[in-house]
Structure 1
Amino acid sequence: MIFESLKPKVVNLLSRSELSIEERLFDLCQLLENKIAYYNWVGFYFRNGEKEELILGPYVGAPTEHTVIPFGKGICGQVAVSNQNFVVPDVSAQDNYIACSLTVKAEIVVPIFVNGENIGQIDIDSNTPDPFSEADERFLEFVCAKVADIL
């Protein structure tokens, strides 16, 4: 499976301490977007200090105007409140969805925890309807755990 072959690449990429954290996260976004055909936008959002909002971090994909997302708004904002993965097989069926592009059909968001606190998340959009499986969730939980180690 593609996820198992990507795990060592994720670890190696994130361990490159000669690069800044931003550079490593951007490289990670590129790796995932390039290697997983249905990952069409890959990015990170992080909590903005003590404010109840998320700020866009490194990402790969179409530009987005959603650089600040209030807690509770959209899928990312809901994950900031729930502290749980959110898999959306069909974004058009979600009332609280923030549309980034008309081509996006599905989304998955997995939180990043540092010392038990939700400090951000990885957000992936797909132009393929209902592409995400439990294997995606487990892989992205692995990715988020490895990202947490460098934050």
Structure 2
Amino acid sequence: MLSPLRPKIEAIVNSEDVEIKIRLQQICDLLRENISYYDWVGFYFKNGTKEELKLGPYSGEPTDHTIIPFGKGICGQVALSNENFVVPDVKAQDNYIACSINVKAEIVVPLFVNGENIGQIDIDSNTADPFSKDDEEFLEFVNKEVAKIL
């Protein structure tokens, strides 16, 4: 289910005539529209020299969480740990920032450029425990492709 999307991700990344922000938006839309349990897909990026993340392009319900301090919530924890974070049940997490009452699970994968964590892709799901190792590997692939244009 995820691997047929790889050439589409590559095609978006390689569309050099399209602005980067638009390409990131196209990736968010592609993932949300093609993976049934990806209910919100977005990129967060380090906000300059501040110890916080700033929301970039996303697809899904609007969110109030446009700025997330390092260490807060799943995204803020990934900004510090530099590691994937899969949350099968958001209710079981103490340090979780709720974006919607419908969200049941979340996966966050850091985005590295030249070895530096400059942001992440964040997926919220309204399905309980939907994420597998395949999702992690696929999102790592997405971030490696995105890193080529940042």
Q: Report TM bin, short chain.
A: over 0.9
Tell me the CA shift for residue 18 of structure 1: 1.2
1:1-151 equivalences in 2 (<5 Å): 2-151=1-150
SS at match of 1:31: helix
Query: Following the alignment from structure 2 to structure 1, what is the Cα–Cα distance between the partners of residues 15 and 136?
Result: 25
Report the TM-score, using the length of structure 2 for normalisation: 0.99
Task: Give 1:50 deviation, angstroms.
Answer: 1.1
What TM-score do you get using the length of structure 1 for normalisation? 0.99
Deviations 1:59-85 (A, max 9, x none): 000000000000000000000000000
Q: Which stretches in structure 1 are left out of the alignment for 5+ residues? A: none
**Secondary structure at the counterpart of residue 132 of structure 1:** coil
- Structure 2: gaps (5+ residues): none
Once superposed, which parts of structure 1, at least 4 consecutive aligned residues long, lie more than 4 Å away?
A: none
Shift of 1:26: 0.2
RMSD of the alignment, in Å? 0.4
Aligned residues: 150
Give me the whole-angstrom Cα distance separating, in 1, the residues matched to 2:104 and 2:132.
15
Q: Distance in 2 between matches of 1:46 and 1:21?
A: 14
